[in-house]
Amino acid sequence: MLTKSSTELVRQQNSMLVLSALRRHGRLAHTEISDQTRLASATVSAITAELERAHLIERTEVQPVGGRGRPRVLFEQRRDCAYLAVVVISSDAVQYSLVDYSGRLLDRFAELRPATTGADLFARTVRDGLERLAGRARIERNRILVISISSKGIVDPGRPVLVWSPVLGADRIDFADALRPDWQAEIMLANETLLVASALGTTMEKTGLHPGFRSLAALSLGHSIGLGIVSQTGTDHHVSALNFGHMLHVPDGALCRCGSRGCIEAYAGFYAVLRGAFEVPTDTIPAKFVPLAEMDKIAASARQGNRIAGFAFRQAGLALGNGLARMFSLHDRMPVVLTGPGTRYFDLLQKGMEEGLSQSQIVRLEGMPPLSVAADEQNLVFQGHLNRALAAIDRSVLGFRQSAAVAS
């Protein structure tokens, strides 16, 4: 016999299934919710009625074509139930977005990153940006239930602490401490490439992308080099972000932005290609930021036959391919989706990547993994934020709003 606590747990789990189905597929009818969640019709009726009373979802009636017959009732999230703030930290700017409970973007703006960096100054910048975001929409802070932040670099797995990043270096920042007491929202922090992998995993589930594979790697190319892996486990996804860009490629090799030598990024990041194209000594302090216009010039020179520029891109591809080959030895062979601004140079990187991959036993035995390009990385990052943060809001609102609705 179920105890009261276990009955409550089952009810909340079923409610999460319903909200998740609406989030993945948009407005759904009663029977469609039942099909997507595999819940009995009576269970769906009870849950949707409860969620309506708690003001988490709302119904709309759609008249059938021709105007005959009963209207079709569709359910969807109530847009003004709660809000999400998304903060995306990049090499040169910080972008702020406001999203309603249904996942619709309400407002977005970006600000240039302060020239003088440091944890305290950067935290103040983010606090000011969030205040401006709420003020522009005239939304009270307590209605923003989650603040979801992303950055390149190393993130503490248990707390919203940025351990190392291209922006702040080793100057750690705890965003929970930095935003309290002004903000009482749940603070989430993720590696940017992990969010990309999460979004690609959702796409893989919906479209059947790369059938036959249960895992997929997202390789981000740009100023930094990042790698995320998404694996299907039943109906769920397991997503992880490896410290791929700072894996050892050449012992005692080129100087990396992290301060180590021989990292993959020290051979494949934009500053590495710049260094190689101009034959700068490998112990030169890396450039913090390389404009795309400068990279485009090097790429144009390589495509016109400049051997030194072409060699710089090929060496970058080789470092990426070698790193992927090592990763396959640990995680099995899987499709690789290239993202980020560096995808515009894939034609110059591809031969080096394939050369590096071909040195792996698993690739020689099973063949070259599928390589594809998803150029719109920023949209994937945003979708990854929505996947994680809106699910967190679902858990939050189910915790107290349903209890209040039942009590009334």
- Say yes or no: 247 and 328 in one domain: yes
**Amino acid identity of 179?**
L
- Say yes or no: 103 and 47 in one domain: no
Domain CATH number, residue 40: 1.10.10.10
Task: Tell the residue number behind the tokens 């009732």, with chain if given.
Answer: 73
Domain CATH number, residue 265: 3.30.420.40
- Give the Cα separation of 360 and 263 in Å (integer): 19
CB 350: neighbour CB atoms within 10 A? Answer: 17
- Say yes or no: 184 and 217 in one domain: no
> How is residue 321 written in tokens?
């391919």
Is residue 266 situated within a structural domain?
yes
**Amino acid identity of 165?**
S
pTM for this prediction = 0.87
Tally of domains within the chain? 3
- Give the Cα separation of 161 and 144 in Å (integer): 20
- Say yes or no: 267 and 181 in one domain: no
- Say yes or no: 58 and 152 in one domain: no
How far does Cα 104 stand from its chain's mean position? Answer: 17
- Say yes or no: 231 and 356 in one domain: yes
Is residue 147 situated within a structural domain?
yes
Distance set, CA 341 to CA 142, 269, 375, 394 (Å)? 36, 11, 7, 33
HEC string of the chain? Answer: CCCHHHHHHHHHHHHHHHHHHHHHHCCEEHHHHHHHHCCCHHHHHHHHHHHHHCCCEEEEEECCCCCCCCCEEEEEECHHHCEEEEEEECCCEEEEEEEECCCCEEEEEEEECCCCCCHHHHHHHHHHHHHHHHHHHCCCHHHEEEEEEEECCEECCCCCEEEEECCCECCCEEHHHHHCCCCCCEEEEEEHHHHHHHHHHHHHHHHCCCCCCCEEEEEEECCCEEEEEEEEECCEEEEEEECHHHCECCCCCCECCCCCECECHHHHCHHHHHHHHCCCCCCCCCCCCCCHHHHHHHHHHHHCCCHHHHHHHHHHHHHHHHHHHHHHHHHCCCCEEEECHHHHHHHHHHHHHHHHHCCCHHHHHHCCCCEEEECCHHHHHHHHHHHHHHHHHHHHHHHHHHHHHHHC
End of a domain among 60, 77, 94? Answer: 77
CB 217: neighbour CB atoms within 10 A? Answer: 24
- Give the Cα separation of 157 and 168 in Å (integer): 18
- Say yes or no: 246 and 359 in one domain: yes
Is residue 377 situated within a structural domain?
no
- Specify whether the backbone of 136 is left (phi greater than 0), alpha (psi in -120 to 50) or beta: alpha
Q: Is there a contact between 142 and 134 (Cβ–Cβ < 8 Å)? A: no
Is residue 36 situated within a structural domain?
yes
Is residue 202 situated within a structural domain?
no
- Say yes or no: 70 and 114 in one domain: no
Q: Is there a contact between 187 and 141 (Cβ–Cβ < 8 Å)? A: no
How far does Cα 270 stand from its chain's mean position? Answer: 21
Is residue 292 situated within a structural domain?
yes
Is residue 45 situated within a structural domain?
yes
- Say yes or no: 258 and 332 in one domain: yes
Q: State which residues form the domain around 174.
A: 81-192+382-402
pLDDT for position 4? 45
End of a domain among 44, 77, 110? Answer: 77
- Say yes or no: 281 and 321 in one domain: yes
pLDDT for position 208? 64
- Say yes or no: 226 and 362 in one domain: yes
End of a domain among 53, 77, 101? Answer: 77
pLDDT in tens for each of the 408 residues of the chain? 344 457 878 888 899 999 989 988 889 999 999 999 999 999 999 999 999 998 899 998 887 776 676 788 999 999 999 999 999 998 888 999 999 999 999 999 999 887 666 888 899 999 999 999 999 999 999 999 999 999 998 999 899 999 998 878 888 999 999 998 899 999 999 999 999 999 998 887 766 666 767 889 999 999 999 999 998 776 567 899 989 999 999 999 999 999 999 999 999 999 999 999 999 999 998 887 899 999 999 999 999 999 999 999 999 999 999 999 999 988 888 999 999 999 999 999 999 999 999 998 989 999 999 999 998 999 999 999 999 999 999 998 887 555 555 444
- Say yes or no: 176 and 304 in one domain: no
Residue 379 has, within 13 A of its CA and on its CB side, a CA count of 5
Is residue 119 situated within a structural domain?
yes
